[in-house]
Structure 1
C-alpha cells in the first residue's frame, strides 16, 4: 500500500503544479501553444538600488563625453591655418598661446581626426547600452537619440564654431590622453588615410581676394561697431600696393608733353630763373633741338650761384652743373624701379619706348609712390571714393565717420603739400 500511496501523492502534487502554471484546456485534436507576453515597462528601477545610480552616472559621462569629442572635432578642424599663423605673429599673448597649442596638434591631422571620432563613436554606442539597465531597451534608444541630437550635434557645433580656438587650446591635455588611449587603433588608420587622402594645404588669399577682404573690413557693420574698421585712405593705399605688382614704368611716368624742360640753346635770364624759383621743383630736364632728344638734367639748388644779369647760356651752365639721366624701358616693373630708387641709384629717370627707344616721359620716386599708394590721379581718387560710397550705402554710421575723417585728411594734405626733391618741373594738367 505504501508505494501506491506515494504514487497517488506524486500525481496529486503534479496536478496541483500544472494548475498553478497554466489553465488546462480540453484537447481538440490539434496542438495548441499558449505563449505568455512579458510586458515592457518604461518605469525606472528602484533608485535605492546601487547599480541604478552607477548606470545613471555612466550615462551622463558618456553623454557629455560624446558632446566634448564632437565639439573638439568642430573646434580643431574649423580653424584656418593662415589665421593661426597670424595669431602667432600679431595676436595677443593669450592668442599666441592658444594658437601654439592648436598648431602642435594640427601637425598630425589624420591621427587627430581618427582619435576624436573614435572617442565620439565609443561614447555614443555606450549610451543606450548603459541606459538599458535603467529603463526598457526601446525607451533607452529613444532617450539616447534625443541626447545625441542635443549634446552631440547641436550644442557642440555652436560652441565649437564660436569659441573653437579657446576650447581646443584649453582641452589639448584631454586630446593627448585620448590619443594615448586609442593610439593602437588610431595610428594605423591615420597612416592609411595619409596614403589615400591628399594632405590638407594651408589657405592663402589671392590678390583679388585680399582686396575684397580689405573692402569688407571697411564696410562691415560689425567691424564698425567694434571700431576696427579701416579708413578709406588705408584701404586705398593697401589696394594700390597690391595692384602695383602688375604695374610698369609707363603706368607711373609723367608724359613728355606735361614736363617743363629747358632748351639746351636757351639762356638763364631773369624770366627763366624766376620760373624755376616760383615752381620750387628740384630737378629739371634739358633737351636739345627737340624734346625727345634729352641731354640730361639740372639740380635746381646747384644753380643758386648763377646771376640772371649775366644771362649765361644754358649750354655753358650744363657743362658745369649738368647731370646725366638714367634711362629705363617703359615695361620695367614698378617695384624694381622702386628698389633701385630706394637704394639711391638714381632719383629721376627718362622712360624709353620699348619699340622706338625714344623718350616718352619721366619718372621719379614721387611718381612711383603715388601709384603704389593708390594716389596717381586726383580724378581717379574721387571716382574710387564715389564707388566705395555706393558700396557702403547701407552703412550710414560707419560712412559718416570715414567721410569726415577723409575730408579732414584731404584738407591737411592739400594745405601741407610741398614738392619733394624727387619731383621734376611739371606743367599743370588742366
Structure 2
C-alpha cells in the first residue's frame, strides 16, 4: 500500500527536472544568441584594413598593444568575410528558433509571443548590440573561439552560400580615398582638436589637397617676384641690397621680353671676390653686370639651366620634378620655348601649401629676419672701400656688421661667445663698440713671448704666423682669430696672456680687436643679469 504514492512523487520530480533543464537550455541559448548578435556587430563592423592598421601602428603604448593583440585574433576570421557572415546569421537564427520552440511548450498564445519577443529583442538584440558597439574589439577577440567552433559545425551549410556570395559580392577593404581622408581629418580637427599636435591637422589637410592644386594657384607673379636684370651693376651696395632680401636664388629677367634668361644663387654674388672672376671688368663686382656674371658662370661650367613648367602642372608633378631639377621653376603660359613667362614657383611655395602657411618664397613682404641682415653685414665687411672709410673715421660697427661678426664668433668659438656664457644683448653691445683698424703691410701684430691684451679678428688681408719651438709657419686670411687663448675661461680675470706665436701682416689688412678687460666686463654683466633673473624666479 505504501508504494501506491510513489508514482505521483516520481512524476513531480521528472517535471521539476524537465523545467530545470529547460531553464538552463534557455539561458544557454540566450547567451549564444547574445554572442552571435553581438559578434555580428563586433566582428563585421571591423574591416581588414582597420584591423591591419591596429596591428601595425608604431610606438604602441599599453592600450595600443592590447588593441593590436585583439586585432590579431580577429583578423583571420574577418578575412573570411562572407563565410563569417553566414556562420553568424545561421547560428543566431538557429538559436533563436530553438529558444522559441522551448518557450512554446510552457507559454503559448499571446503570452508565449510576448515572452519570446521580450527575451529575444531585449536580452538577445538590444543589450549585446549596445555593448558591442562600444567594446567590439575586446568582445570580438573574446568570442572568437565560439565563432571558430560554429564555423566548423556549420561548414557544410555555410560554405556553399559563402562561395556564391564571394562570387557575387567579393569582399573589398574599406579604404578611404583622398577626399574622404581630408574630410575625416577636418572633422577630427573640429571635434577633437587636442588629438593631433598643433599644426599636424593643417599639414595633413594641405598634403591631401596638394594633388588637386596647380602651380598657377601658388606661383608668385613675375612682376612681383624678386628678380634681377642682365644690366644691373654688381657693386657692393647693390649686392648688399639683393642679399638682404633673404632669398637663395634670383631669376634674371630680360627687361624687353620679360622672359627669364638665367638664374643666380646668392653664393654667386658673394663669391665675386674670388680669383676666378678676375677677368671681369674692374674685378670683385664693382662694375661687372649681372649678364657678365651669367656669362662667366657659363664659361666656368657652372651655368644653371632655367626649368620651365606649364601653368597647369600639378604640385605633385612639380614636386617629383624638383627631385631632379633646381628647386625653382619658371611658370609659362603655354607650351614651347616661346611661351610667355608669367611667374615663379619654388619648393618653399609647395611646403607653404602643405603646411597651410601664409606667404611664400618670393613675396613682396620680405620681412627683416636677423639672418638677412647678417648676410648684408658680412657683405659690408668684404667691401674694402667701406672698411677704409670706417677705419679713417674711426667708425663703430653698425647693427648689421656686428650681427654678422656675432654669428661667426658664436658658431666658431662657442666656449667664449656662446649665448649661454654671454647673452645676445651684451655680446652685441660689446661688438658694437669695435672699430675696423687698418694694419699696414709688414706690421708685427703679435710677438712670441710678449704679453698681449687684445684678441684680433681678421676682416681682410693675410698674416704670416710663426709658432711653437720648431717655428712652424702658416698663413691666415679673412675671418681668422688671433690670440683667442687670452679669453679662454681658464685664464681668469687677472691672468696675463703671453703670445706663443708671431703674426706679421703679409698685406695691408683690416682687423677688429677685442680688449680683454671689456670682454670680462660684458661677461660679468651678463652673469649678474642671469643671477638676478634666477633670484626673481625664486
- Relative to the length of structure 1, the TM-score reads 0.69
The alpha-carbon distance between structure 1 residues 204 and 132, as it changes in their structure 2 partners (threshold 3 A), is: closer
Secondary structure at the aligned position of 2:123 is classed as helix
On the 8 A contact 1:240/1:373 being kept in 2, the answer is: yes
Q: How does 1:18-417 map to 2 (within 5 A)?
A: 49-90=16-57, 92-131=64-103, 135-138=106-109, 139-195=111-167, 197-220=168-191, 223=192, 227-229=194-196, 231=198, 233-290=199-256, 292-304=258-270, 305-306=272-273, 310-321=286-297, 323-341=304-322, 343-354=323-334, 357-377=339-359
C-alpha separation between the residues in 1 aligned to 2:241 and 2:258?
A: 22
C-alpha separation between the residues in 2 aligned to 1:300 and 1:132?
A: 92
C-alpha separation between the residues in 1 aligned to 2:140 and 2:118?
A: 26
**Shift of the alpha carbon at 1:244?**
1.0
**Shift of the alpha carbon at 1:58?**
1.4
- 1:173-194 per-residue CA deviation (whole Å, 9 max, x = no partner) reads 1111111111222222323333
Structure 2 unmatched ranges of 5 or more: 1-11, 274-282, 298-302, 361-366, 373-538
- Relative to the length of structure 2, the TM-score reads 0.56
- 1:235-269 per-residue CA deviation (whole Å, 9 max, x = no partner) reads 22222111110222222222110123222123222
C-alpha separation between the residues in 2 aligned to 1:141 and 1:127?
A: 12
RMSD: 2.8
C-alpha separation between the residues in 2 aligned to 1:279 and 1:416?
A: 9
Secondary structure at the aligned position of 1:285 is classed as strand
Secondary structure at the aligned position of 1:157 is classed as helix
On the 8 A contact 2:35/2:143 being kept in 1, the answer is: no
C-alpha separation between the residues in 2 aligned to 1:344 and 1:364?
A: 14
C-alpha separation between the residues in 2 aligned to 1:175 and 1:415?
A: 68
**Shift of the alpha carbon at 1:290?**
2.4
User: Which of the two has greater helix per residue?
Assistant: 1
C-alpha separation between the residues in 1 aligned to 2:21 and 2:316?
A: 72
C-alpha separation between the residues in 2 aligned to 1:286 and 1:238?
A: 35
The alpha-carbon distance between structure 1 residues 193 and 242, as it changes in their structure 2 partners (threshold 3 A), is: closer
On the 8 A contact 2:43/2:140 being kept in 1, the answer is: yes
Count of aligned pairs: 332
**Shift of the alpha carbon at 1:296?**
0.7
**Shift of the alpha carbon at 1:276?**
1.9
**Shift of the alpha carbon at 1:166?**
1.4
C-alpha separation between the residues in 2 aligned to 1:276 and 1:415?
A: 13
On the 8 A contact 1:46/1:52 being kept in 2, the answer is: no
**Shift of the alpha carbon at 1:376?**
4.9
C-alpha separation between the residues in 2 aligned to 1:334 and 1:166?
A: 43
- 1:207-253 per-residue CA deviation (whole Å, 9 max, x = no partner) reads 33222211211221xx35xx42554x322222211111022222222
**Shift of the alpha carbon at 1:47?**
9.0
C-alpha separation between the residues in 1 aligned to 2:27 and 2:56?
A: 41
Q: Which residue of 2 aligns with 1:422?
A: none
On the 8 A contact 1:273/1:308 being kept in 2, the answer is: no
The higher-RCO structure (CA 8 Å, 6+ apart) is 1
C-alpha separation between the residues in 2 aligned to 1:299 and 1:218?
A: 40
- 1:37-94 per-residue CA deviation (whole Å, 9 max, x = no partner) reads xxxxxxxx76983333222211211121112111111222222444223213216222
